[in-house]
Every structure is written in C-alpha cells, then in structure tokens.
Amino acid sequence: MREYALATRATDPVYEADPSETPPDEVVAPLTFAACFAAPAALAHDPELGWHWNLVHAKQEYEFHRLVRVGDVLACTPRITAIVSRGRTELLTVEVACTDPRGGAAVVTSRSTIAFFAEGGG
C-alpha cells in the first residue's frame, strides 16, 4: 500500500510513517488501491477467455461503500458482464464485487472495460 501510495503521489503522511508505530486500522487505503485486489486480470488465466496482452484499459468505474484499511480481509468475486466486438477490437467488461466476508457487506465494486486488439484470442 505504501508503494502504491508513493506511485500515485498520495500526500497523507501516514504512508511515510513507521509501520511499527502506526496501528494498521488507522491506515486508510488510497481509493484506487482497489486496482490491486479487484483487477480484471484475475481472469487472465481462464483458458476459455483467450486473454492476451495486446490490450488497453478503456474504462474504469468504482463504487466505494466503505473505506479499506490495512489488515482488512475482503472476498472479491469477478464476473464477466459484457463482451462486445467493435471491428477488430473486443471489449471485455468485468465487474468485481468486494465484500466483507464476515456478514457480506459491500466494500467496493469495480467495473473495468478492457479493449483487446486483434491478435490470437481475446
């Protein structure tokens, strides 16, 4: 999370603080840290999908139901919600629902649309 915060220039000094002196539940994740655990690439190993890496991220949506903190355990379930062909490009939309496994409350919902350019599968 510290590396993610540094790469995205988060200004909260908590990310630079000594982790041994900071209670983990006081460290709130940057909003888009969800990209680390709710990424559509979780499906890259699905043999039926024919994932390849000639792609770009076309669209991203997040709904934040509550903040994520260091030490949280989340259950993340990816679901393909659309596959659309547009000429030689295929658009894959994956929704990942991240919930608190104790009780099932929604934490963050991610919707990613990935554009795959013609090459092999996709």
Partner 1 sequence: MSHTQGDQLPVHEHVVSQEDVLRYAGASGDYNRLHWDGDFAAEVSPTGEPIAHGMLTLGLLANLVAEWAGGPEHVLSLSASFRAPLPVGATVRVGGEVVDVDRQGGLTTVAIWAETGEGEKVIDRRKSRAVIATR
Options 3, 18, 21, 48; binder of partner 1; rule CB under 8 A: 3
Helix (H, G, I), strand (E, B) or coil at 37: coil
Q: Which of residues 47-86 bind partner 1 (CB under 8 A)?
A: 53-64, 67
CA atoms 16, 12, 26, 37: torsion sign: negative
Q: CB of residue 100 vs partner 1: minimum separation in angstroms?
A: 16
* Cβ closest to partner 1, residue 54 vs residue 81: 54
Nearer residue to partner 1 within complex by CB, 57 or 79: 57
Classify residue 69 by its DSSP letter: B
Give residue for tokens 């409350």. 105
Nearer to partner 1, 41 or 76 (CB): 41
Cβ atoms within 10 Å, residue 66: 11
Residue closer to partner 1, measured from CB, 64 or 88: 64
- Residue 58 is given by DSSP the state E
| Residue 25 CA: distances (Å) to CA of 1, 19, 75 | 13, 11, 18
**Which residues bind to partner 1, rule: CB under 8 A?**
1, 3-4, 6-11, 28, 30-32, 35-36, 39, 41, 53-64, 67, 117
